[in-house]
Amino acid sequence: MVEGGGRRVVVTGCGMVTPLGLGKVVNAEGFRTGRAAFRPVTLFDVSRQRAKVAGEVDLPSSLPVVAAQARPLRRLDRAGQMLLWAVQEAKQQSGWPAGLGASFIVGTTGGGMSLGEAYYRRAFQTPEKRRQQPTRAIGYQAYRQVALVGRACELSGPMNVITNACASGANAVGHAWELVRSGRADRALAAGYDAVSQMIFAGFDALQALSPTVCRPFDRHRDGLALGEGAAALSLESLESARSRQAEILAELVGYGAATDRHHPTQPQPDGDAAVMTMTAACRCAGLTPADIDYLNAHGTGTTLNDQAEAIAIARWAGPRAATLPVSSTKAGVGHLLGAAGAVEAAICVLALRGQWLPPMLATTAVDPACAFPLVTRAGAARLNHVMSNSFGFGGANGTLVFRKWP
Amino acid sequence: MAVKQIFISGLGAVSPAGWGVAALCAALNGATFPAGPRTEFSDRESSLRALRAPPLASRPSWAAHPRLRRASAISRFAMGASVEALNGRETNGRLGIVFCTTCGGVGYSRRFYDEALRDPETASPLLFPETVFNAPAGHLSSVLDSAAINYTLAGDSGVFLHGLALAADWLLEARVDACVVVAAEEADWIIADVLRHFRKSVTLGEGAGAVLLTREREANSRAVLERVTDSELVTPPGGKSARADAERRVVAALPPGPVTFPDAARLGEAFAAGAAWSVVAALETARRQRLARAIVCVPGAYQEAVGASFSMLGPEPT
């Protein structure tokens, strides 16, 4: 990473869809108060799964008003629709005029997984019935969904789909930041999205990673994660570009670190080596030390192994600062949003900086002794200048972002 | 001194023609395949076929790594091509990895989803981790022992060329010293089933292609990455004439010279891996024929066309 150089990159638009609701206003209030939004799964049968709940999004029956024709957009599945809502909100807030080129960088793990599942069921059970199968096959592809949404929202620049498992959203934001910072793009819209799907739910359940009770990150009695769904988008642009348009600046993105944990496909290295690397790299390129960070939005899935390794990594990275560094995981409220998680949590950081509050996790009551830092378990105001967000994924993908309050 | 050039310093391939760049190029130049790479999926209709990569003749040392014990075919293909491209080069923990794919680990995904549909209570936890798009990338970092940045890109066939551009950015910014860009696909009846909806006459293929990019000119450096074009979107996606239009626009944006296209007729439609094969083959041909440039255009399966050009290096000055 080029340290200390490059253009300043600011956030001028933010859009969110989570189980807490549609839009950043309702989400800011939900995350500020620590509201939890889990319910029994309605999207498919979970009667033979260990876990029965997830954070599901209630989507409106109509799509947002966008530039493109409505017909192709109707082919988007739930995941694609969530992406469309989030991107449209971010783009609208940023006020980017039509035709202004912007890169579109999106993270996801499943793309249009529900369409892929439907394709498989039809191909396996009734292979002679081919109607709609080509539409499902194309619609399943994340790149196709991203292209549709990008076109609908008049994002005319290059597109990339990053599929780094649960770090995808953070990597998308980080990559977009690098594009703008280096001058390869003046503007980039970064997003993450994923919907709860039967296959992924069954997968996490098979790994016994889902909580059969309540998701309680960093609690000594934690017993797993809860899955959720959603999308978030951030409009990133150079400070010069934002100023020239007299755009409202929501926050500045000042640091990004990425590294790979080589330990195991689904488990973190117990001492959190790669997490230490990403937190250190993100701080270094922001020109900050742990003492400058006022809040850490942890990956904090609620699984025994992740939270243990992340707690150790935070203590190693923060040193003496750990004793006073507020930490929470917003997965306590909406669940693990997989490819959307990093982008949603980045958006939460922006909202927290704007509102000067700490997102609490109310279900965590018995703090794991491995936590050498104070956990945010009650809603409250705070003075925040710099906040950090961690995202770690299967395959060892790790990413950390650092945001600064504006002005 | 700022780095201005990105060198192509290694190539690797796994294809229905065999393991290695030599087998790939021989097949593309008209040699016949070794016997038996064509597969019919016995549990499905006989109309579904694929050209499969043959099994390895002998077990290389990397295949014994614990991470690869249960790894999917796509991971093994990616590994084989990457190891060939690295050609014994030390990674020093600063090797970036860009893994590119269109279909991903579809074999384990289909098997796991099938088990989940039958009875989720008994669906195998061993299969699920391999269903994740970036599973091969994680294996590569682990086996090649690099904690450096590692991305998986999903997209239409031209995603491999986007991967080259991404790796070049990382190298220019000194985030890594070298970067393997690898694209891989594995054959499964479900993808063959998809393919027949769109291109009935084309057979599915599988394998991987890899390119090693470096910041410094090395003994194995054979070319410089000149440019990767912008994407030309196929609108409407999948449309035959729209695809041809996008291809024409890409070719017009490339320097003049013979253009290499993916050859699905010979090796099967292998999406991103097919794009990687065309880059590997173009670079090999340009080296053998002492051409000034290698030029590649990837029209893509359904979404976009993209191209790239490479300037061939002469002998290293002594």
User: A276 and A313 in contact (C-beta within 8 Å)?
Assistant: yes
Strands B259-260 and B232-233: unpaired
In terms of domains, do B93 and B128 share one? yes
In terms of domains, do B96 and B237 share one? no
User: A173 and A88 in contact (C-beta within 8 Å)?
Assistant: no
Q: Which parts of chain A sit beneath pLDDT 50?
A: 1-4
Give chain B's radius of gyration (CA, Å): 19
Contact check, Cβ <8 Å, A163/B152: yes
Contact check, Cβ <8 Å, A171/B151: yes
- Whole-angstrom Cα distance, residue B299 to residue B303? 9
Q: Which of B214, B233, B260 is the last residue of a domain?
A: B214
Q: Where are the alpha helices (DSSP H) in chain B?
A: 21-28, 73-86, 106-118, 128-131, 135-143, 159-172, 189-198, 240-253, 264-267, 271-288
Q: What distance in Å separates residue B314's CA from the closest CA in chain A?
A: 30
In terms of domains, do B32 and B125 share one? yes
Residue range of the domain that includes B189: 8-214
Contact check, Cβ <8 Å, A206/B149: no
In terms of domains, do B189 and B233 share one? no
In terms of domains, do B242 and B96 share one? no
Nearest CA in chain B to A150: B233
Contact check, Cβ <8 Å, A260/B128: no
Strand order in the sheet with B49-51: B38-40, B49-51, B204-205
Q: CA angle, corner A33, sides to A32 and A35, nearest 5?
A: 115
In terms of domains, do B132 and B279 share one? no
Contact check, Cβ <8 Å, A394/B148: no
Nearest CA in chain A to B228: A158
pLDDT (tens, 9 = 90+) of chain B, 318 residues, equals 355 799 999 999 999 999 999 999 999 988 766 645 677 776 566 678 899 999 988 999 999 999 998 899 999 999 999 999 999 998 888 999 999 999 999 999 999 999 999 999 999 999 999 999 999 999 999 999 999 999 999 999 999 999 999 999 999 999 999 999 999 999 999 999 999 888 888 899 999 999 999 999 999 999 999 999 998 888 776 677 888 999 999 999 999 999 999 999 899 999 999 999 999 999 999 999 999 999 999 998 878 999 999 999 987 655
Structure tokens, B142 = 């682990």
Residues of A in contact with B2 (CB under 8 A): none
Measured distance between the N- and C-terminal CA atoms of chain B, rounded to whole angstroms: 21
Q: Which of residues 170-229 of A touch B (CB under 8 A)?
A: 171, 175, 178, 182, 184, 198-199, 202-208
CATH number for the domain spanning B208: value is: 3.40.47.10
What single-letter DSSP state applies at residue B59? -
Nearest CA in chain A to B149: A259
Structure tokens, A373 = 């830092």
User: Which of B141, B166, B198 shows the shortest C-beta gap to A260?
Assistant: B141
Residue B259 lies in a domain: yes
- Whole-angstrom Cα distance, residue B15 to residue B24? 6
Residues of B in contact with A109 (CB under 8 A): 132-133
Q: A260 in contact with B at a CB cutoff of 8 Å?
A: yes
Exposed (0-12), middle (13-18) or buried (19+): which is B318, by Cβ within 10 Å? exposed
Contact check, Cβ <8 Å, B162/A182: no
Q: What distance in Å separates residue A354's CA from the closest CA in chain B?
A: 31
What single-letter DSSP state applies at residue B312? E
Contact check, Cβ <8 Å, B154/A142: yes
Contact check, Cβ <8 Å, A165/B133: yes
User: B283 and B11 in contact (C-beta within 8 Å)?
Assistant: yes
Residue B3 lies in a domain: no
Residues of B in contact with A132 (CB under 8 A): none
Q: Which residues of A are identified as catalytic?
A: 166, 299, 336
Task: Give the Å distances, CA to CA, from A345 to A109, A333, A339, A379, A398.
Answer: 16, 12, 11, 17, 14
Three-state DSSP at B255 gives coil
Give the mutation candidate from A156, A260, A263 for the B interface (greatest B CB count, under 10 A): A260
- Whole-angstrom Cα distance, residue B132 to residue B123? 16
Q: What distance in Å separates residue A90's CA from the closest CA in chain B?
A: 23
Q: What distance in Å separates residue B286's CA from the closest CA in chain A?
A: 29
Contact check, Cβ <8 Å, A260/B112: no
User: B80 and B72 in contact (C-beta within 8 Å)?
Assistant: no
Nearest CA in chain B to A118: B113
Counting one residue from chain A and one from chain B, the pairs whose CB atoms sit within 8 A come to 180
Structure tokens, B136 = 């091969």
Q: Which residues share a beta bridge with A236?
A: A11, A188
Residue B97: how many other CB atoms lie within 10 Å = 29
pLDDT digits (tens, 9 = 90+) for A195-220: 999 999 999 999 999 999 999 999 99
- Whole-angstrom Cα distance, residue A224 to residue A11? 33
| ipTM of the complex, rounded to two decimals | 0.97
Q: What is the 3-state secondary structure (H, E, C) of chain A?
A: CCCCCCCCEEEEEEEEEECCEECHHHHHHHHHHCCCCCEECCCCCCCCCCCCEEECCCCCCCCCCCCCCHHHHCCCCHHHHHHHHHHHHHHHHHCCCCCCCCEEEEECCCCCHHHHHHHHHHHHHCCCCCCCHHHHHHHHCHHHHHHHHHHHCCCCCCEEEECCHHHHHHHHHHHHHHHHHHCCCCEEEEEEEECCCHHHHHHHHHCCCECCCCCCCCECCCCCECEECEEEEEEEEEHHHHHHCCCCCCEEEEEEEEEECCCCCCCCCCCCHHHHHHHHHHHHHHCCCHHHCCEEECCCCCCHHHHHHHHHHHHHHHHHHHHHCCEECCHHHHCECHHHHHHHHHHHHHHHHHHCEECCCCCCCCECCCCCCCECCCCEECCCCEEEEEEECHHHEEEEEEEEECC
Q: Which of B185, B214, B243 is the last residue of a domain?
A: B214
Contact check, Cβ <8 Å, B129/A266: yes
- Whole-angstrom Cα distance, residue A341 to residue A362? 19
- Whole-angstrom Cα distance, residue A10 to residue A249? 7
In terms of domains, do B175 and B266 share one? no
Residues of A in contact with B142 (CB under 8 A): 262-263, 396
Residue B153 lies in a domain: yes
In terms of domains, do B187 and B284 share one? no
Q: A48 in contact with B at a CB cutoff of 8 Å?
A: yes
pTM of the model: 0.97
Residue B1 lies in a domain: no
In terms of domains, do B187 and B48 share one? yes
In terms of domains, do B153 and B49 share one? yes
Count of residues in chain B: 318
Residue A18: how many other CB atoms lie within 10 Å = 31
Give chain A's radius of gyration (CA, Å): 20
User: A391 and A249 in contact (C-beta within 8 Å)?
Assistant: no
pLDDT of residue A105: 98
- Whole-angstrom Cα distance, residue B151 to residue B161? 14
Residue B78 lies in a domain: yes
Q: A265 in contact with B at a CB cutoff of 8 Å?
A: yes
User: For residue B232, what are the contacts with CB-CB under 8 A and spacing of at least 6?
Assistant: B245, B246, B247, B249, B250, B304, B305, B306
Measured distance between the N- and C-terminal CA atoms of chain A, rounded to whole angstroms: 25
Residue B2 lies in a domain: no
Q: What distance in Å separates residue B120's CA from the closest CA in chain A?
A: 6
- Whole-angstrom Cα distance, residue B132 to residue B99? 13
| Domain total of chain B | 2
Contact check, Cβ <8 Å, B138/A123: no
Residue B101 lies in a domain: yes
What single-letter DSSP state applies at residue B160? H
User: Which of B116, B156, B190 shows the shortest C-beta gap to A198?
Assistant: B116
Q: Which of residues 59-118 of A touch B (CB under 8 A)?
A: 109, 111, 117
Structure tokens, B5 = 């050039």
Q: Which of B214, B236, B258 is the last residue of a domain?
A: B214
Q: A267 in contact with B at a CB cutoff of 8 Å?
A: no
Q: A127 in contact with B at a CB cutoff of 8 Å?
A: yes
pLDDT of residue A104: 96
CA atoms within 13 A on the CB side of B80: 29
Residue closest to B184 by CA, chosen among B220, B143, B133, B243:
B133
Q: Which of residues 152-181 of A touch B (CB under 8 A)?
A: 158-165, 171, 175, 178
In terms of domains, do B135 and B192 share one? yes
The rounded Cα A209 to chain-centroid distance in angstroms is 19
In terms of domains, do B166 and B307 share one? no
Residue B132 lies in a domain: yes
Residue A221: how many other CB atoms lie within 10 Å = 11
